[in-house]
């Protein structure tokens, strides 16, 4: 795949509906005012890292999958912020303490031991925000109701995307990072978040996602 086709795929009319990308605007609203440094854990093709850089943040983007990092590097940064890519496991990669104004994990925390959030917590600067867009098994009737209600919305969104892609001549394939199933329940996540990230809040979102937000005082 050429660099120009990658750019068309990510910035042009062929961008597909994606459950994680759908929540990028929500995550961007969580970036603290005046933030300068960001860490994106499990950055994949760097789509969210580029959005952070476009807002002027200098981003450390980390992912163990070289098959997505190389094309991500080729796409570069839109500026004015910079992006530094690291091919590494965040559980083994040293993070500077009290350094980042915002840390994001987008559909990546279930690839890691949950207590990795303690390491991320310690890497936050005072006033910094950890935002996790995660996947987990539902635990309560309300959890299940929110996600069941996502089914018709999902069918509509996928149908719209399918029509748009056909009108645009089809979508170019892009590299994908390895995918792992999630085994933690939302109640388990709630308990562990209360223990490791006191004061954090968890919101169940449509499209089979939850949002965990923690702000370091």
Instruction: Please report whether residue 159 resides in a domain.
Output: no
Instruction: Please report whether residue 11 resides in a domain.
Output: yes
- Give the pLDDT score at 19: 87
The model's confidence at residue 166, banded by pLDDT at 50, 70 and 90, is low
> Please, what's the b/e burial string for 48-65 (b: 16 or more CB within 10 A of its CB; e: otherwise)?
bbbbbbeeebbbbbbbbb
User: Prior bond to 37 cis, omega within 30?
Assistant: no
Instruction: Please report whether residue 185 resides in a domain.
Output: yes
Instruction: Please report whether residue 172 resides in a domain.
Output: no
pLDDT in tens, 67-116: 899 999 999 999 999 999 999 999 999 999 999 999 999 999 999 999 99
The model's confidence at residue 13, banded by pLDDT at 50, 70 and 90, is very low
Averaged pLDDT for residues 40-64: 97
Alpha-carbon gap, residue 63 to 88, rounded angstroms: 6
Instruction: Please report whether residue 112 resides in a domain.
Output: yes
Write down the pTM of the prediction. 0.85
For residue 134, pLDDT beyond 70: yes
Instruction: Please report whether residue 162 resides in a domain.
Output: no
Give me the domain span that covers residue 24: 3-138+177-215
Number of domains the chain is built from? 1
Instruction: Please report whether residue 32 resides in a domain.
Output: yes
Task: Provide the sign of the torsion angle of the four alpha carbons 140, 145, 151, 157, taken in this order.
Answer: negative
| Cα separations in angstroms, 9 against 26, 53, 185 | 22, 19, 34
Averaged pLDDT for residues 16-45: 93
pLDDT in tens, 135-146: 999 999 999 999
Instruction: Please report whether residue 57 resides in a domain.
Output: yes
Domain harbouring 119, CATH code: 3.40.50.150
The residue ranking higher by pLDDT, 30 or 167, is: 30
């Amino acid at each position: 795949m050429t660099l120009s086709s990658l750019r068309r795929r990510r910035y042009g009319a062929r961008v597909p509906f994606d459950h994680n990308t759908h929540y990028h605007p929500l995550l961007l609203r969580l970036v603290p005012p005046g933030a300068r440094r960001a860490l994106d854990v499990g950055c994949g093709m760097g789509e969210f890292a580029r959005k952070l850089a476009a807002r002027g943040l200098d981003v450390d983007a980390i992912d163990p999958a070289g098959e997505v990092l190389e094309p991500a590097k080729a796409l570069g940064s839109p500026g004015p912020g910079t992006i530094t890519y690291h091919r590494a496991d965040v559980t083994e990669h040293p993070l500077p303490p009290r350094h980042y104004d915002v840390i994001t994990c987008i559909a990546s925390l279930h690839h890691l031991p949950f207590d990795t959030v303690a390491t991320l917590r310690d890497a936050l600067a005072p006033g910094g925000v950890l935002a996790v867009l995660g996947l987990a098994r539902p635990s309560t009737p309300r959890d299940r109701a929110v996600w069941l209600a996502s089914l018709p919305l999902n069918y509509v969104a996928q149908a719209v995307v399918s029509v748009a892609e056909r009108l645009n001549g089809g979508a170019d394939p892009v590299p994908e990072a390895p995918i792992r199933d999630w085994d933690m329940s939302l109640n388990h996540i709630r308990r562990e978040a209360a223990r490791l990230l006191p004061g954090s809040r968890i919101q169940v979102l449509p499209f089979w996602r939850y949002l965990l937000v923690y702000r370091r005082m």
